[in-house]
Structure 1
Amino acid sequence: MSRTRGQIAGAAVTGAVIGALGGSAFAAALWPGSGAVGAVVCGAIAAGVAAVADLRRRPGEVQPLTVRILFAAMIAAAAGAAMEWLFPDWSAVVPAVAVGLVSGLSGGRLLKMALGIAVGTIVGIGFDAWAPEAGWAAATAVTVVAYRVIAALVWRGKEQLRVRAEQLPPEQVRFVVPFAESSGYVGVDYLRRYAESVGASFQHAPMDVGIVASLDDLAGPRFDPAMVHPLVREFYEHTGRFHLMIVPEWRWWMRLPYRIYRETIARPLGQANAPFEIEEVQRGVVSWIDV
Protein backbone atom coordinates (compact mmCIF):
# COMPACT_ATOMS: atom_id res chain seq x y z
CA MET A 1 0.00 0.00 0.00
CA SER A 2 1.48 3.35 -1.04
CA ARG A 3 1.75 6.27 1.30
CA THR A 4 -1.11 8.76 1.27
CA ARG A 5 -0.65 12.48 0.80
CA GLY A 6 -1.80 13.03 4.36
CA GLN A 7 0.83 10.67 5.74
CA ILE A 8 3.59 12.28 3.70
CA ALA A 9 2.42 15.75 4.70
CA GLY A 10 2.39 14.68 8.35
CA ALA A 11 5.96 13.44 8.07
CA ALA A 12 6.99 16.70 6.42
CA VAL A 13 5.39 18.80 9.17
CA THR A 14 7.05 16.72 11.88
CA GLY A 15 10.38 17.04 10.10
CA ALA A 16 9.93 20.79 9.72
CA VAL A 17 9.26 21.26 13.44
CA ILE A 18 12.24 19.14 14.49
CA GLY A 19 14.48 20.77 11.91
CA ALA A 20 13.42 24.24 12.98
CA LEU A 21 14.19 23.51 16.63
CA GLY A 22 17.58 22.01 15.86
CA GLY A 23 18.48 24.61 13.25
CA SER A 24 17.61 27.45 15.58
CA ALA A 25 19.77 25.94 18.32
CA PHE A 26 22.76 25.43 16.02
CA ALA A 27 22.52 28.86 14.38
CA ALA A 28 22.10 30.72 17.66
CA ALA A 29 25.19 29.01 19.09
CA LEU A 30 27.41 29.55 16.05
CA TRP A 31 26.14 32.93 14.86
CA PRO A 32 24.38 34.85 17.65
CA GLY A 33 21.17 36.46 16.50
CA SER A 34 20.63 34.11 13.57
CA GLY A 35 18.37 31.61 15.30
CA ALA A 36 15.32 32.51 13.21
CA VAL A 37 17.21 32.12 9.95
CA GLY A 38 18.56 28.76 11.07
CA ALA A 39 15.07 27.63 12.03
CA VAL A 40 13.63 28.51 8.62
CA VAL A 41 16.47 27.02 6.57
CA CYS A 42 16.86 23.81 8.58
CA GLY A 43 13.11 23.43 8.94
CA ALA A 44 12.64 23.56 5.17
CA ILE A 45 15.48 21.11 4.54
CA ALA A 46 14.28 18.71 7.22
CA ALA A 47 10.72 18.85 5.88
CA GLY A 48 11.93 17.85 2.43
CA VAL A 49 14.11 15.06 3.79
CA ALA A 50 11.28 13.67 5.92
CA ALA A 51 8.77 13.83 3.06
CA VAL A 52 11.07 12.06 0.58
CA ALA A 53 12.05 9.41 3.13
CA ASP A 54 8.42 8.75 4.02
CA LEU A 55 7.41 8.60 0.36
CA ARG A 56 10.07 6.00 -0.42
CA ARG A 57 9.60 3.69 2.57
CA ARG A 58 7.26 0.72 2.50
CA PRO A 59 4.48 0.15 5.07
CA GLY A 60 5.81 -1.33 8.29
CA GLU A 61 9.35 -0.11 7.67
CA VAL A 62 11.10 2.56 9.69
CA GLN A 63 12.75 5.48 7.98
CA PRO A 64 16.41 5.04 6.94
CA LEU A 65 18.98 5.06 9.74
CA THR A 66 20.62 8.21 8.41
CA VAL A 67 17.33 10.10 8.57
CA ARG A 68 16.63 8.87 12.10
CA ILE A 69 20.11 9.90 13.23
CA LEU A 70 19.67 13.33 11.63
CA PHE A 71 16.42 14.02 13.45
CA ALA A 72 17.74 12.59 16.72
CA ALA A 73 20.67 15.00 16.46
CA MET A 74 18.30 17.92 15.85
CA ILE A 75 16.26 17.04 18.92
CA ALA A 76 19.43 16.66 20.98
CA ALA A 77 20.68 20.04 19.77
CA ALA A 78 17.46 21.72 20.88
CA ALA A 79 17.68 19.99 24.27
CA GLY A 80 21.32 21.01 24.64
CA ALA A 81 20.54 24.64 23.85
CA ALA A 82 17.72 24.64 26.41
CA MET A 83 19.98 23.17 29.10
CA GLU A 84 22.70 25.71 28.32
CA TRP A 85 20.19 28.53 28.70
CA LEU A 86 19.08 27.15 32.08
CA PHE A 87 22.52 26.21 33.43
CA PRO A 88 25.11 28.32 31.57
CA ASP A 89 27.88 27.76 34.12
CA TRP A 90 27.88 23.99 34.01
CA SER A 91 30.31 21.79 32.11
CA ALA A 92 29.37 20.49 28.67
CA VAL A 93 29.84 17.01 30.11
CA VAL A 94 26.49 17.29 31.90
CA PRO A 95 24.22 17.74 28.85
CA ALA A 96 26.30 15.36 26.76
CA VAL A 97 26.02 12.60 29.38
CA ALA A 98 22.31 13.37 29.83
CA VAL A 99 21.45 12.90 26.15
CA GLY A 100 23.78 9.91 25.94
CA LEU A 101 21.99 8.31 28.87
CA VAL A 102 18.56 8.96 27.36
CA SER A 103 19.71 7.55 24.03
CA GLY A 104 21.05 4.45 25.75
CA LEU A 105 17.89 3.94 27.78
CA SER A 106 15.80 4.08 24.61
CA GLY A 107 17.82 1.13 23.32
CA GLY A 108 16.58 -1.17 26.08
CA ARG A 109 19.99 -2.61 26.98
CA LEU A 110 22.28 -1.94 29.92
CA LEU A 111 25.28 -1.96 27.59
CA LYS A 112 23.63 0.68 25.41
CA MET A 113 23.03 2.83 28.46
CA ALA A 114 26.68 2.43 29.45
CA LEU A 115 27.74 3.26 25.90
CA GLY A 116 25.61 6.41 25.91
CA ILE A 117 27.15 7.59 29.17
CA ALA A 118 30.67 6.83 27.94
CA VAL A 119 30.18 8.63 24.63
CA GLY A 120 28.62 11.62 26.38
CA THR A 121 31.50 11.83 28.84
CA ILE A 122 34.15 11.73 26.11
CA VAL A 123 32.35 14.24 23.89
CA GLY A 124 31.64 16.59 26.79
CA ILE A 125 35.25 16.58 27.95
CA GLY A 126 36.39 17.16 24.38
CA PHE A 127 34.11 20.17 23.90
CA ASP A 128 35.15 21.66 27.24
CA ALA A 129 38.82 21.32 26.31
CA TRP A 130 38.89 22.20 22.62
CA ALA A 131 35.62 23.83 21.57
CA PRO A 132 33.93 25.53 24.53
CA GLU A 133 32.60 28.29 22.27
CA ALA A 134 30.70 25.81 20.08
CA GLY A 135 27.87 25.56 22.60
CA TRP A 136 25.94 22.69 24.09
CA ALA A 137 23.76 22.25 21.02
CA ALA A 138 26.77 20.98 19.12
CA ALA A 139 27.99 18.86 22.04
CA THR A 140 24.68 17.07 22.48
CA ALA A 141 24.18 16.60 18.74
CA VAL A 142 27.65 15.10 18.33
CA THR A 143 26.99 12.81 21.30
CA VAL A 144 23.82 11.44 19.76
CA VAL A 145 25.35 10.99 16.31
CA ALA A 146 28.40 9.21 17.74
CA TYR A 147 26.28 7.00 19.97
CA ARG A 148 23.81 6.06 17.23
CA VAL A 149 26.56 5.22 14.74
CA ILE A 150 28.49 3.07 17.23
CA ALA A 151 25.32 1.33 18.45
CA ALA A 152 24.22 0.64 14.88
CA LEU A 153 27.55 -1.02 14.13
CA VAL A 154 27.80 -3.02 17.36
CA TRP A 155 24.17 -4.20 17.50
CA ARG A 156 23.49 -4.46 13.80
CA GLY A 157 20.64 -6.91 13.22
CA LYS A 158 20.20 -7.49 16.96
CA GLU A 159 17.27 -5.21 17.75
CA GLN A 160 15.40 -6.36 20.85
CA LEU A 161 12.16 -4.70 19.86
CA ARG A 162 10.86 -2.92 16.80
CA VAL A 163 7.49 -1.22 16.88
CA ARG A 164 5.73 0.27 13.89
CA ALA A 165 2.20 1.52 13.43
CA GLU A 166 0.44 2.01 10.12
CA GLN A 167 -3.07 3.20 9.34
CA LEU A 168 -4.84 0.50 7.33
CA PRO A 169 -8.39 -0.06 6.04
CA PRO A 170 -10.50 -2.41 8.22
CA GLU A 171 -10.53 -5.22 5.65
CA GLN A 172 -6.75 -5.55 5.98
CA VAL A 173 -6.76 -5.88 9.77
CA ARG A 174 -9.34 -8.59 10.38
CA PHE A 175 -7.79 -9.56 13.71
CA VAL A 176 -8.12 -6.11 15.30
CA VAL A 177 -11.12 -5.83 17.61
CA PRO A 178 -12.72 -2.35 17.44
CA PHE A 179 -13.99 -2.44 21.01
CA ALA A 180 -12.66 -0.03 23.64
CA GLU A 181 -13.05 -1.01 27.28
CA SER A 182 -14.66 1.94 29.05
CA SER A 183 -14.76 0.54 32.58
CA GLY A 184 -11.02 0.81 33.18
CA TYR A 185 -10.74 -2.96 33.69
CA VAL A 186 -10.12 -5.50 30.93
CA GLY A 187 -9.82 -8.80 32.77
CA VAL A 188 -10.74 -12.22 31.39
CA ASP A 189 -14.31 -11.38 30.33
CA TYR A 190 -13.36 -8.82 27.70
CA LEU A 191 -14.32 -11.08 24.78
CA ARG A 192 -17.66 -11.95 26.37
CA ARG A 193 -18.52 -8.27 26.78
CA TYR A 194 -17.46 -7.58 23.20
CA ALA A 195 -19.65 -10.41 21.88
CA GLU A 196 -22.62 -9.08 23.83
CA SER A 197 -22.07 -5.56 22.49
CA VAL A 198 -22.20 -6.68 18.84
CA GLY A 199 -24.66 -9.55 19.24
CA ALA A 200 -22.11 -12.23 18.33
CA SER A 201 -21.87 -15.80 19.61
CA PHE A 202 -19.52 -16.61 22.47
CA GLN A 203 -18.04 -19.85 23.81
CA HIS A 204 -16.06 -20.13 27.01
CA ALA A 205 -13.07 -22.48 26.79
CA PRO A 206 -14.37 -24.85 24.10
CA MET A 207 -12.66 -28.21 23.73
CA ASP A 208 -9.65 -28.53 21.42
CA VAL A 209 -9.57 -24.81 20.68
CA GLY A 210 -6.47 -23.14 19.28
CA ILE A 211 -4.91 -19.70 19.40
CA VAL A 212 -5.77 -19.47 15.69
CA ALA A 213 -8.18 -21.55 13.64
CA SER A 214 -5.51 -22.18 11.01
CA LEU A 215 -1.97 -20.98 10.52
CA ASP A 216 -2.79 -20.68 6.84
CA ASP A 217 -4.78 -17.54 7.70
CA LEU A 218 -1.50 -15.86 8.68
CA ALA A 219 0.26 -16.47 5.36
CA GLY A 220 2.07 -13.43 4.05
CA PRO A 221 5.16 -12.21 2.20
CA ARG A 222 7.42 -13.13 5.14
CA PHE A 223 5.59 -16.17 6.48
CA ASP A 224 4.93 -19.47 4.72
CA PRO A 225 2.75 -21.77 6.87
CA ALA A 226 4.01 -24.79 4.92
CA MET A 227 7.44 -24.29 6.54
CA VAL A 228 6.07 -24.66 10.08
CA HIS A 229 6.84 -27.87 11.98
CA PRO A 230 3.72 -30.04 12.50
CA LEU A 231 4.02 -29.85 16.29
CA VAL A 232 4.21 -26.07 16.19
CA ARG A 233 1.16 -25.98 13.93
CA GLU A 234 -0.68 -28.32 16.28
CA PHE A 235 0.11 -26.09 19.25
CA TYR A 236 -1.28 -22.99 17.56
CA GLU A 237 -4.33 -24.70 16.05
CA HIS A 238 -5.13 -27.03 19.01
CA THR A 239 -3.69 -25.23 22.01
CA GLY A 240 -6.19 -26.85 24.38
CA ARG A 241 -4.43 -30.19 23.97
CA PHE A 242 -1.27 -28.93 25.64
CA HIS A 243 -0.18 -28.43 29.24
CA LEU A 244 2.52 -25.83 29.74
CA MET A 245 5.16 -25.61 32.46
CA ILE A 246 6.21 -22.05 33.22
CA VAL A 247 9.59 -21.33 34.81
CA PRO A 248 9.91 -17.55 35.24
CA GLU A 249 13.46 -16.26 34.91
CA TRP A 250 14.02 -12.53 35.11
CA ARG A 251 17.13 -10.51 34.53
CA TRP A 252 18.04 -8.80 37.76
CA TRP A 253 17.67 -5.32 36.32
CA MET A 254 14.13 -6.07 35.11
CA ARG A 255 12.76 -7.52 38.34
CA LEU A 256 11.96 -4.23 40.07
CA PRO A 257 10.54 -2.45 36.96
CA TYR A 258 8.28 -5.41 36.19
CA ARG A 259 7.10 -5.71 39.77
CA ILE A 260 6.19 -2.00 39.75
CA TYR A 261 4.45 -2.40 36.38
CA ARG A 262 2.52 -5.45 37.54
CA GLU A 263 1.29 -3.91 40.78
CA THR A 264 0.45 -0.47 39.39
CA ILE A 265 -0.79 -1.25 35.86
CA ALA A 266 -1.19 -4.94 34.99
CA ARG A 267 -3.22 -6.10 37.98
CA PRO A 268 -5.55 -3.07 38.08
CA LEU A 269 -6.25 -3.62 34.36
CA GLY A 270 -6.41 -7.40 34.63
CA GLN A 271 -3.84 -7.78 31.84
CA ALA A 272 -0.30 -9.11 31.28
CA ASN A 273 -0.18 -10.51 34.80
CA ALA A 274 2.58 -13.06 34.18
CA PRO A 275 3.99 -15.15 37.08
CA PHE A 276 6.83 -13.42 38.86
CA GLU A 277 8.21 -16.13 41.13
CA ILE A 278 8.35 -19.91 40.82
CA GLU A 279 6.17 -20.11 43.95
CA GLU A 280 3.34 -18.44 42.04
CA VAL A 281 3.63 -21.07 39.31
CA GLN A 282 3.56 -23.88 41.87
CA ARG A 283 0.30 -22.54 43.27
CA GLY A 284 -1.18 -22.99 39.81
CA VAL A 285 -1.88 -20.82 36.78
CA VAL A 286 -5.20 -21.35 35.02
CA SER A 287 -5.50 -20.27 31.40
CA TRP A 288 -8.08 -20.82 28.68
CA ILE A 289 -9.14 -19.56 25.26
CA ASP A 290 -12.58 -18.10 24.58
CA VAL A 291 -14.04 -17.85 21.10
Structure 2
Amino acid sequence: MRRAAVLLAASVLVLAGCGAGDPAATSAPGSTTTTAGSSAGTTSATPTTDPTTTAAPSTTAAPPTTTSTSPTPGPTVVLDPGHNGGNAADPGTINAPVPDGAGGTKPCNTTGTSTDAGYPEHAFTWDVANRVADLLHDQGVQVVFTRADDTGVGPCVDVRGELGARVGAAAFVGIHGDGAAPGGRGFHVITSSLDPGGAEVAAATQALAVDLRDSLTAVEPVSDYLGTDGLDSRGDLAGLNLNTVPAVYVECGNMRNAADAALMSSEAGRQALAQQLAAGVLAFLGR
Protein backbone atom coordinates (compact mmCIF):
# COMPACT_ATOMS: atom_id res chain seq x y z
CA MET A 1 0.00 0.00 0.00
CA ARG A 2 1.22 3.47 -0.78
CA ARG A 3 2.43 5.14 2.41
CA ALA A 4 3.80 8.44 1.15
CA ALA A 5 2.34 11.69 2.38
CA VAL A 6 2.43 13.69 -0.83
CA LEU A 7 2.14 17.36 -1.60
CA LEU A 8 -0.09 17.64 -4.65
CA ALA A 9 -0.21 20.52 -7.10
CA ALA A 10 -3.56 19.97 -8.71
CA SER A 11 -3.08 21.60 -12.10
CA VAL A 12 0.47 21.30 -13.40
CA LEU A 13 2.59 19.41 -16.09
CA VAL A 14 5.74 18.38 -18.07
CA LEU A 15 6.50 17.13 -21.59
CA ALA A 16 9.57 15.07 -22.30
CA GLY A 17 11.21 14.18 -25.55
CA CYS A 18 9.37 10.87 -25.71
CA GLY A 19 8.06 9.66 -29.02
CA ALA A 20 4.41 10.51 -29.63
CA GLY A 21 3.15 6.98 -30.01
CA ASP A 22 -0.17 5.20 -30.12
CA PRO A 23 -3.17 6.88 -28.44
CA ALA A 24 -2.76 6.33 -24.72
CA ALA A 25 -5.02 3.89 -22.98
CA THR A 26 -6.82 4.97 -19.83
CA SER A 27 -5.83 3.36 -16.55
CA ALA A 28 -7.65 3.40 -13.24
CA PRO A 29 -7.83 6.72 -11.39
CA GLY A 30 -4.93 7.57 -9.11
CA SER A 31 -4.33 10.15 -6.41
CA THR A 32 -1.99 11.07 -3.64
CA THR A 33 -2.62 7.71 -1.96
CA THR A 34 -2.06 4.90 -4.42
CA THR A 35 -1.50 1.17 -4.48
CA ALA A 36 0.57 0.09 -7.43
CA GLY A 37 -1.15 -2.52 -9.56
CA SER A 38 0.02 -6.09 -9.80
CA SER A 39 -0.18 -6.14 -13.59
CA ALA A 40 1.25 -3.87 -16.26
CA GLY A 41 -0.63 -0.64 -16.76
CA THR A 42 -2.84 -0.99 -13.68
CA THR A 43 -3.05 1.31 -10.68
CA SER A 44 -5.63 1.53 -7.95
CA ALA A 45 -6.24 4.33 -5.53
CA THR A 46 -8.33 5.93 -2.86
CA PRO A 47 -8.51 9.65 -3.70
CA THR A 48 -7.51 12.09 -0.98
CA THR A 49 -8.15 15.10 -3.20
CA ASP A 50 -10.55 15.73 -6.04
CA PRO A 51 -8.86 14.76 -9.33
CA THR A 52 -8.28 17.83 -11.50
CA THR A 53 -8.26 17.83 -15.27
CA THR A 54 -7.25 20.66 -17.54
CA ALA A 55 -10.16 21.93 -19.65
CA ALA A 56 -7.87 24.25 -21.61
CA PRO A 57 -4.14 24.95 -21.71
CA SER A 58 -3.12 26.73 -18.54
CA THR A 59 -0.08 28.73 -17.56
CA THR A 60 -1.05 29.11 -13.91
CA ALA A 61 -0.73 26.25 -11.45
CA ALA A 62 -3.15 25.83 -8.58
CA PRO A 63 -1.67 26.21 -5.07
CA PRO A 64 -0.35 22.87 -3.78
CA THR A 65 -2.37 20.97 -1.22
CA THR A 66 -0.39 19.23 1.51
CA THR A 67 -1.32 15.97 3.17
CA SER A 68 1.90 15.79 5.18
CA THR A 69 1.70 15.85 8.96
CA SER A 70 5.44 15.76 9.56
CA PRO A 71 6.42 18.36 12.18
CA THR A 72 9.85 18.79 10.58
CA PRO A 73 9.35 18.32 6.85
CA GLY A 74 12.40 17.47 4.80
CA PRO A 75 13.33 18.83 1.37
CA THR A 76 10.68 18.96 -1.33
CA VAL A 77 11.03 17.08 -4.63
CA VAL A 78 8.70 17.49 -7.60
CA LEU A 79 7.94 14.24 -9.42
CA ASP A 80 6.53 14.75 -12.89
CA PRO A 81 4.95 11.57 -14.33
CA GLY A 82 4.90 12.32 -18.05
CA HIS A 83 1.72 12.78 -20.10
CA ASN A 84 -1.74 11.76 -18.80
CA GLY A 85 -4.32 9.08 -19.53
CA GLY A 86 -6.93 11.44 -20.97
CA ASN A 87 -4.66 13.29 -23.39
CA ALA A 88 -5.50 11.21 -26.46
CA ALA A 89 -9.20 12.02 -26.09
CA ASP A 90 -8.65 15.80 -26.11
CA PRO A 91 -6.38 16.81 -29.01
CA GLY A 92 -7.70 20.36 -28.99
CA THR A 93 -6.28 20.93 -25.54
CA ILE A 94 -3.00 19.10 -25.83
CA ASN A 95 -2.15 20.54 -29.26
CA ALA A 96 -2.73 24.17 -28.23
CA PRO A 97 0.50 26.22 -28.06
CA VAL A 98 2.07 27.26 -24.76
CA PRO A 99 5.40 29.00 -23.99
CA ASP A 100 8.46 26.79 -24.48
CA GLY A 101 10.91 28.76 -22.34
CA ALA A 102 13.06 29.54 -25.37
CA GLY A 103 11.08 32.38 -26.92
CA GLY A 104 8.70 30.18 -28.88
CA THR A 105 5.84 27.78 -28.24
CA LYS A 106 5.26 24.05 -27.85
CA PRO A 107 2.08 21.96 -27.83
CA CYS A 108 0.52 21.83 -24.38
CA ASN A 109 1.28 18.11 -24.10
CA THR A 110 1.33 14.84 -26.07
CA THR A 111 -0.13 11.36 -25.68
CA GLY A 112 3.26 9.74 -25.15
CA THR A 113 4.36 6.40 -26.53
CA SER A 114 3.70 2.74 -25.65
CA THR A 115 5.24 -0.70 -25.92
CA ASP A 116 4.44 -2.82 -28.96
CA ALA A 117 2.10 -4.79 -26.69
CA GLY A 118 0.15 -1.60 -25.90
CA TYR A 119 1.38 -0.70 -22.40
CA PRO A 120 1.16 3.12 -22.42
CA GLU A 121 3.83 5.49 -21.26
CA HIS A 122 1.39 7.53 -19.15
CA ALA A 123 0.53 4.42 -17.07
CA PHE A 124 4.20 3.49 -16.71
CA THR A 125 5.20 6.96 -15.51
CA TRP A 126 2.28 7.19 -13.07
CA ASP A 127 3.08 3.81 -11.53
CA VAL A 128 6.80 4.48 -11.21
CA ALA A 129 6.26 7.98 -9.78
CA ASN A 130 4.04 6.60 -7.03
CA ARG A 131 6.65 3.99 -6.16
CA VAL A 132 9.40 6.63 -6.05
CA ALA A 133 7.22 8.85 -3.84
CA ASP A 134 6.82 6.04 -1.31
CA LEU A 135 10.55 5.48 -1.14
CA LEU A 136 11.38 9.18 -0.82
CA HIS A 137 8.79 9.74 1.86
CA ASP A 138 10.26 6.88 3.87
CA GLN A 139 13.44 8.99 4.01
CA GLY A 140 11.65 12.17 5.11
CA VAL A 141 11.40 13.80 1.68
CA GLN A 142 8.26 15.78 0.81
CA VAL A 143 6.89 15.00 -2.68
CA VAL A 144 4.86 17.14 -5.05
CA PHE A 145 3.17 15.56 -8.09
CA THR A 146 2.48 17.52 -11.26
CA ARG A 147 -0.77 15.68 -11.93
CA ALA A 148 -3.47 14.30 -9.67
CA ASP A 149 -4.35 11.06 -11.46
CA ASP A 150 -3.85 9.03 -14.64
CA THR A 151 -7.21 9.80 -16.24
CA GLY A 152 -7.05 13.57 -16.75
CA VAL A 153 -5.83 15.88 -19.53
CA GLY A 154 -2.56 17.75 -19.19
CA PRO A 155 -1.59 19.88 -17.43
CA CYS A 156 0.52 21.76 -19.92
CA VAL A 157 4.29 21.69 -20.10
CA ASP A 158 4.76 25.32 -19.09
CA VAL A 159 2.70 24.82 -15.92
CA ARG A 160 4.66 21.73 -14.99
CA GLY A 161 7.96 23.43 -15.63
CA GLU A 162 7.15 26.36 -13.36
CA LEU A 163 6.06 24.21 -10.42
CA GLY A 164 9.46 23.54 -8.87
CA ALA A 165 10.10 27.20 -8.14
CA ARG A 166 6.54 27.72 -6.88
CA VAL A 167 6.89 25.06 -4.18
CA GLY A 168 10.56 25.71 -3.35
CA ALA A 169 11.67 22.30 -4.58
CA ALA A 170 15.21 21.05 -4.16
CA ALA A 171 14.83 19.02 -7.36
CA PHE A 172 12.42 18.32 -10.21
CA VAL A 173 12.44 14.86 -11.82
CA GLY A 174 10.36 14.13 -14.92
CA ILE A 175 9.73 10.41 -15.43
CA HIS A 176 9.28 9.18 -19.01
CA GLY A 177 9.72 6.30 -21.42
CA ASP A 178 11.17 6.87 -24.89
CA GLY A 179 9.62 5.79 -28.18
CA ALA A 180 12.70 5.41 -30.37
CA ALA A 181 13.57 2.87 -33.07
CA PRO A 182 13.36 -0.67 -31.67
CA GLY A 183 17.06 -1.36 -32.14
CA GLY A 184 18.04 1.25 -29.54
CA ARG A 185 18.19 0.29 -25.89
CA GLY A 186 18.82 1.95 -22.55
CA PHE A 187 17.98 4.98 -20.42
CA HIS A 188 19.21 8.56 -20.61
CA VAL A 189 18.89 11.65 -18.41
CA ILE A 190 18.09 14.97 -20.08
CA THR A 191 19.00 18.48 -18.89
CA SER A 192 18.21 21.88 -20.44
CA SER A 193 21.02 23.41 -22.48
CA LEU A 194 19.64 26.90 -21.75
CA ASP A 195 20.57 26.97 -18.04
CA PRO A 196 17.37 28.80 -17.03
CA GLY A 197 18.30 29.03 -13.35
CA GLY A 198 21.81 30.39 -13.89
CA ALA A 199 25.22 28.86 -13.38
CA GLU A 200 24.69 27.61 -9.83
CA VAL A 201 21.45 25.82 -10.68
CA ALA A 202 23.03 24.44 -13.86
CA ALA A 203 25.84 22.89 -11.81
CA ALA A 204 23.33 21.38 -9.39
CA THR A 205 21.25 20.09 -12.30
CA GLN A 206 24.29 18.34 -13.72
CA ALA A 207 25.01 16.78 -10.32
CA LEU A 208 21.40 15.55 -10.13
CA ALA A 209 21.67 14.07 -13.63
CA VAL A 210 24.93 12.26 -12.79
CA ASP A 211 23.57 10.88 -9.51
CA LEU A 212 20.50 9.51 -11.30
CA ARG A 213 22.62 8.13 -14.15
CA ASP A 214 25.00 6.39 -11.79
CA SER A 215 22.14 4.88 -9.78
CA LEU A 216 20.09 3.65 -12.74
CA THR A 217 22.97 1.71 -14.25
CA ALA A 218 22.32 -0.93 -11.58
CA VAL A 219 19.15 -2.04 -13.41
CA GLU A 220 19.35 -0.70 -16.98
CA PRO A 221 22.17 0.05 -19.44
CA VAL A 222 22.81 3.61 -20.56
CA SER A 223 21.35 4.53 -23.94
CA ASP A 224 23.22 3.20 -26.94
CA TYR A 225 21.33 5.45 -29.38
CA LEU A 226 21.17 8.93 -27.83
CA GLY A 227 23.34 11.11 -25.58
CA THR A 228 26.78 10.40 -24.16
CA ASP A 229 27.29 8.07 -21.20
CA GLY A 230 23.58 8.23 -20.40
CA LEU A 231 23.41 12.05 -20.40
CA ASP A 232 21.85 14.40 -22.94
CA SER A 233 21.31 18.17 -23.10
CA ARG A 234 18.54 19.82 -25.12
CA GLY A 235 17.03 23.28 -25.57
CA ASP A 236 13.61 22.31 -26.91
CA LEU A 237 11.88 20.94 -23.79
CA ALA A 238 9.64 23.50 -22.14
CA GLY A 239 9.35 21.63 -18.85
CA LEU A 240 13.12 21.92 -18.38
CA ASN A 241 13.58 25.35 -19.98
CA LEU A 242 11.08 26.90 -17.56
CA ASN A 243 12.56 25.28 -14.45
CA THR A 244 14.69 27.47 -12.21
CA VAL A 245 15.47 24.62 -9.79
CA PRO A 246 17.69 21.59 -10.55
CA ALA A 247 15.58 19.72 -13.10
CA VAL A 248 15.94 16.65 -15.31
CA TYR A 249 13.85 14.31 -17.41
CA VAL A 250 14.66 10.62 -17.14
CA GLU A 251 13.84 8.49 -20.16
CA CYS A 252 13.82 5.22 -18.21
CA GLY A 253 14.16 3.08 -21.32
CA ASN A 254 13.02 2.70 -24.92
CA MET A 255 9.49 1.28 -24.80
CA ARG A 256 9.85 0.11 -28.42
CA ASN A 257 12.85 -2.05 -27.58
CA ALA A 258 11.93 -5.61 -26.56
CA ALA A 259 14.33 -5.83 -23.62
CA ASP A 260 13.46 -2.41 -22.25
CA ALA A 261 9.75 -3.04 -22.75
CA ALA A 262 9.94 -6.28 -20.76
CA LEU A 263 11.57 -4.46 -17.85
CA MET A 264 9.19 -1.48 -17.94
CA SER A 265 6.05 -3.61 -18.32
CA SER A 266 6.71 -5.80 -15.30
CA GLU A 267 5.88 -4.84 -11.73
CA ALA A 268 9.30 -6.05 -10.58
CA GLY A 269 11.00 -3.98 -13.27
CA ARG A 270 9.09 -0.84 -12.35
CA GLN A 271 9.93 -1.33 -8.68
CA ALA A 272 13.60 -1.78 -9.51
CA LEU A 273 13.59 1.40 -11.60
CA ALA A 274 11.78 3.28 -8.83
CA GLN A 275 14.31 2.14 -6.24
CA GLN A 276 17.21 3.40 -8.33
CA LEU A 277 15.47 6.69 -9.16
CA ALA A 278 14.85 7.25 -5.45
CA ALA A 279 18.44 6.32 -4.62
CA GLY A 280 19.73 8.83 -7.16
CA VAL A 281 17.54 11.62 -5.77
CA LEU A 282 18.58 10.79 -2.21
CA ALA A 283 22.25 10.84 -3.21
CA PHE A 284 21.74 14.29 -4.71
CA LEU A 285 20.00 15.50 -1.53
CA GLY A 286 22.76 14.04 0.63
CA ARG A 287 20.35 11.77 2.53
TM-score (norm 1): 0.25
Structure with more of its chain in strand, by fraction: 2
Larger Rg: 1
TM-score (norm 2): 0.25
Structure with more of its chain in helix, by fraction: 1
